[in-house]
Structure 1
Amino acid sequence: MLRGSRRNTQDCNADFPMPVQSVKEQKTLNLSDYELKETLGTGTFGRVRLVKHIGENKHYALKILKKAALIKLKQVEHIKNEVKLLSMITHPMIVNMPAFVQDENKIYLLFEFVPGGELFTHLRTQNRFPEDLSKFYAASIVLAFGYMHHLNVIYRDLKPENLLLTREGYLKITDFGFAKYVEDRTWTLCGTPEYLAPEIIQSKGHGKSVDWWATGILIYEMMAGYPPFYDDNPFCIYQKILHSKVEFPRFFDPKCRDLIKKLLQHDTTRRIGCIRGGASKIQAHKWFSVIDWQALLNQQIAPPFLPTCGDEGDTSNFDEYPESEGDDLEPLLAEERRLFDGLGVEAGGVEAGGVEAGGVEAGGV
């Protein structure tokens, strides 16, 4: 895991499109109101399950995290940050978390269900994206990062696996495990090797600048089908990031090359997005000249690509996973339970095992 730029280097220009802000309403999450369905994804700390609200007949994604695993891998503060930030953030290009709850052994985060699947899956299927599609997704990222940076939140984990497509074809950022509120700089090492900015690798302290570097990497990968700095050995990836020059395929548009070069500028005082004007400088770049930013924010632009989605709970755009790990969770010690103090709502005695869907219990997560 890796993380950190200077204060106010990414302040938003007054002309930068921002969503209308309102106080975010948090629902009370009662696990017994939900029917567990398919697994959408698995990871070190637990899994994500499709769930259906029995009364509303509406589908959501339930992220179920094992506290013991979070403690073992020193991720408690990360999950606290994720819950805190997602509880206050509201943006069309960021996945919504309407509720969360915890019990003695697990944390449950309820998200809107985004049925189009990961951008990663579609990129691998198509090999690489056409320029108009890459530009559409990149513009969505610029809007989301401009909003987050205005709130002094850095994301630090941009990659195709953390981007989801809605049924209508719009992009949403998910997984805020490495996100952090930072007014100045931070020094924690976190992120995905191919997307790490030089200042992270060199432990110089970092901030909002790292998100713009990662945006340049993402644009390149969407256009080329592979990242600009790649190697099987992470150390070699770091060396390439620090010392290699970006080489572009011949089909890259000159305007696109220019933007990527300005995003992959090693000097953060010269990197676009970090200089005066902030995200609005990226918005005004000639590669984005065809983008109507306000219309994109309002989702009034027809996306260039529509994922194939069936009914409201269709999971065909996600991989299949076994529905139970069959693990027995040992009770946490009192001092371990205290690590999660301040996280928020307690489940009030509702155990995950009390939520059943066709005989599959959440306790199997």
Structure 2
Amino acid sequence: MADIFDFDEEELSSKLAKGLTIVTNEKDDIINGYMPIVNEDQEQDDLDNRLGTSYEVNFDEIYEANESRQNSSVNVKSLSTNTPKKLTIQDFEPIKVLGKGSYGKVILVKDKENGKLFAQKQLKKASMIVNTANYERTLTERTILERVRHPNIVKLYYALQDFDKVYLMLEYLEGGELFHHLSQERILSEKVACFYIAEMILALRHLHMNAGVIYRDLKPENCMLNRRGHLVLTDFGLSKVSNESNSLFGTAQYIAPEVIKGETYDSQCDWWSLGTVLYDLLTGSPPFTGNNNKKIMDKVLTQKVKFPFYLSQDARDLLSKLLNKNPAKRLNCDTNFDDKVKTHRFFRYINWDLLIHQNDELQPPPLRPIITNPELAENFDEEFTSMKITPPSSPLDYSLFDRFEESRSDSTSSYITIKKPKPNAESGFDESVYFNNFSYTHEETFLR
């Protein structure tokens, strides 16, 4: 299949150096969005440190998996021919914080009109202008998810912005992180682990073979469970829309040796990461650990993988094939799926056809999340769900959006500079930007 993505690795930075300014003297035209509640700082010794840069990507057409999206708690129904209302952040009620990272927060929100629940990922525009990598990663994630459809990949519904922030309205995965369940169970049995590793393989193969995407950040924290217990891959900010790359990306414990070396690598790096995640699920920790990134990556390059005595021969064999430091000799789950993956004895507990079609009646997921009320976010860490949320104020006004649309038609910049009068009759203006081609509404409406 021909490549479906075109991109220019240097184009975005040059675009951000230019801007078009829109100023309004009417205070009602631009009103504040959320109060600043996101901490953009990241500790230097954080083992989840993300390195490198992502780039702007362009898509020619939508590719969708043949499998029906049975893993979602929402069903698909086509829109009528009427033009849908332009939603703003004011149309959603914040409920609980689901997570927090260097990017900002993920908040559970509810559509005020129909009660549908979404996971709202938000990022402050100020941080995106100061650090263009934040914008690049957000745009990469937004563009990939706009075009990719697969039962084991999170779905994007809306991309919105107000004066202060941008927002990705994502599928709410009520089962929480696989990491959350792993921390409770300590380790998973091979029978349970093989089910979720198999679903990771299906998601990664779709990204590689149908979309030309290298995922680059596979780890338990990025694997979520929906309410039925199926695995869904999330967080595409570090993904690369290309057949190969040589930039350093990922999380130290799960990163492939060729990536650390700075060599040109391809999607084989994701199969190394799959091996590290499998090792983590079966033993309770990744194969290489340490108290800082350098020590971890040194071990990845120089040490052999040690297998605990209790792992079966089947698990050891699969891990050895995935954790081969030579990418040319590493098991390729894309090209060897039928002859070496599906037939591997580690997967003897599952029926691949039932898994692909998510036939829960004949092959239910091994972990069924307990959900008494979706709004309680019971499967998310209380460290986050107990955080206070500052209610949003009004977004950009519809009339101002229309002016943006008119102005950006003549602009080649990635953004338009915008201003609003300072509050409380102060003199002067607060400044922000309006990102061109960021806002998005899916062509279908999703009804529970």
Q: Which TM class, normalised by the smaller chain length? A: 0.7 to 0.9
Partner of 2:387: 322
TM-fit CA distance, 1:93: 0.8
Partner of 1:9: none
C-alpha separation in 1, matches of 2:96 and 2:334: 45
C-alpha separation in 2, matches of 1:50 and 1:37: 5
RMSD of equivalent CA atoms: 3.0
Superposition map of 1:180-195 within 5 A: 180-183=240-243, 185-195=244-254
Q: Which AA in structure 2 matches 1:312?
A: P
**Number of residue pairs matched?**
330
Higher strand proportion (structure 1 or 2):
2
The answer to whether the 8 Å contact 1:34/1:54 transfers is yes
Confirm or deny that 1:173 pairs with 2:233: yes
TM-fit CA distance, 1:18: 5.3
DSSP 3-state at the match of 1:36: strand
**Identical columns (%):** 35
Cα separation, partners in 2 of 1:251 and 1:181, compared to 1, 3 Å: same
Confirm or deny that 1:310 pairs with 2:368: no
Cα separation, partners in 2 of 1:77 and 1:256, compared to 1, 3 Å: same
The answer to whether the 8 Å contact 1:101/1:345 transfers is yes
TM-fit CA distance, 1:25: 8.1
- Structure showing greater radius of gyration is 2
The answer to whether the 8 Å contact 2:175/2:369 transfers is yes
C-alpha separation in 2, matches of 1:338 and 1:281: 51
TM-fit CA distance, 1:20: 6.1
DSSP 3-state at the match of 1:47: strand
Structure 1 runs not aligned, ≥5 long: 5-16, 327-331, 347-365
TM-fit CA distance, 1:290: 3.2
Which is worse superposed, 219-228 or 125-134? 125-134
The answer to whether the 8 Å contact 2:158/2:169 transfers is yes
The answer to whether the 8 Å contact 1:29/1:100 transfers is no
Partner of 2:417: 334
C-alpha separation in 2, matches of 1:106 and 1:279: 45
Structure 2 runs not aligned, ≥5 long: 1-49, 54-64, 70-75, 392-414, 419-430, 442-448
TM-fit CA distance, 1:324: 4.1
C-alpha separation in 2, matches of 1:249 and 1:18: 39
Per-residue CA distance 1:54-96 (angstroms, 9 max, x = gap): 2222211111111222333422211111110000111111111
C-alpha separation in 1, matches of 2:251 and 2:369: 26
Q: Which AA in structure 1 matches 2:370?
A: T
Partner of 1:154: 214
Structure 1 stretches (4+) deviating beyond 4 angstroms?
Answer: 23-28, 335-339
Partner of 1:296: 355
Per-residue CA distance 1:197-242 (angstroms, 9 max, x = gap): 0011000022201110000000000000011101112111111111
DSSP 3-state at the match of 1:129: coil
C-alpha separation in 1, matches of 2:345 and 2:321: 12
Superposition map of 1:111-260 within 5 A: 111-150=170-209, 151-183=211-243, 185-260=244-319
Which is worse superposed, 216-225 or 284-293? 284-293
TM-fit CA distance, 1:24: 11
C-alpha separation in 2, matches of 1:260 and 1:148: 22
TM-fit CA distance, 1:325: 7.3
TM-fit CA distance, 1:29: 3.7
Cα separation, partners in 2 of 1:310 and 1:24, compared to 1, 3 Å: closer
DSSP 3-state at the match of 1:313: helix
Cα separation, partners in 2 of 1:88 and 1:165, compared to 1, 3 Å: same
Partner of 1:362: none
TM-fit CA distance, 1:164: 0.9
